[in-house]
Structure 1
Amino acid sequence: MLDKQKKQRLKFAVKGYEGTSMGDIAAEVGINKASLYTHFTGKDELFLAIYEDAAADYEKLNRTLFEESAGMPVGEQLFWIFQGYILYYHRNTEFAALWTQIVLFPPLHLRERVRVDLAGRDRFFHEGVIGLFSRAIEEGVVCRDSPARLVMSYRSMRDGLLSWMHTVPQMKEEWIRSFWLDLWSGLQRRSDDTQGG
Structure 2
Amino acid sequence: MTKNEIKNISLSLFTKYGYEGTALSEIAKRVGIQKPSIYNHFKNKDDLFLCLFEEILEEHIQQVEQFVEEINTLSSEEKLKHILLDTCNYYKNHEDKATFLKRAMIFPPEHLKHILNESFLRSEESFSAILHAIFVEGIDKKEIRQGKIENLIMSYFCLIDGIFMEFSYYGKENMEPRIQNIWENFWYGLSG
User: Shared fold (TM-score greater than 0.5)?
Assistant: yes
Give distance in 2, aligned partners of 1:90 and 1:162: 9
Give distance in 2, aligned partners of 1:188 and 1:120: 29
Deviation at 1:128, TM superposition (A): 1.6
> 1:193 maps to which residue?
none
Give distance in 2, aligned partners of 1:163 and 1:114: 19
> 1:46 maps to which residue?
48
Runs of 4+ in 1 over 6 A off after TM superposition: none
Deviations, residues 54-89 of structure 1 (Å, cap 9, x unaligned): 222122122122222212111111111111001111
Q: List runs of 5+ in structure 1 lacking aligned partners.
A: 190-197
> 1:186 maps to which residue?
189
In 2, are the aligned partners of 1:69 and 1:77 still within 8 Å (CA)?
Answer: yes
Q: In structure 1, give the amino acid aligned to 2:79.
A: Q
- Give the 3-state SS of the residue equivalent to 2:18 in structure 1: helix
Deviations, residues 158-191 of structure 1 (Å, cap 9, x unaligned): 22123213321351435533321121012223xx
CA RMSD of aligned residues (A): 2.1
> 2:151 maps to which residue?
149
Deviations, residues 113-169 of structure 1 (Å, cap 9, x unaligned): 232233223222102212212222222222222111111221212221232133213
> 2:82 maps to which residue?
80
In 1, are the aligned partners of 2:6 and 2:28 still within 8 Å (CA)?
Answer: no
For normalisation by structure 2, the TM-score amounts to 0.86
- How many residue pairs match? The answer is 189
- Give the 3-state SS of the residue equivalent to 1:39 in structure 2: coil
1:171 and 2:182 equivalent? no
Q: List runs of 5+ in structure 2 lacking aligned partners.
A: none
For normalisation by structure 1, the TM-score amounts to 0.84
The answer to which of 81-90 and 105-114 deviates more is: 105-114
% identical equivalent positions: 27
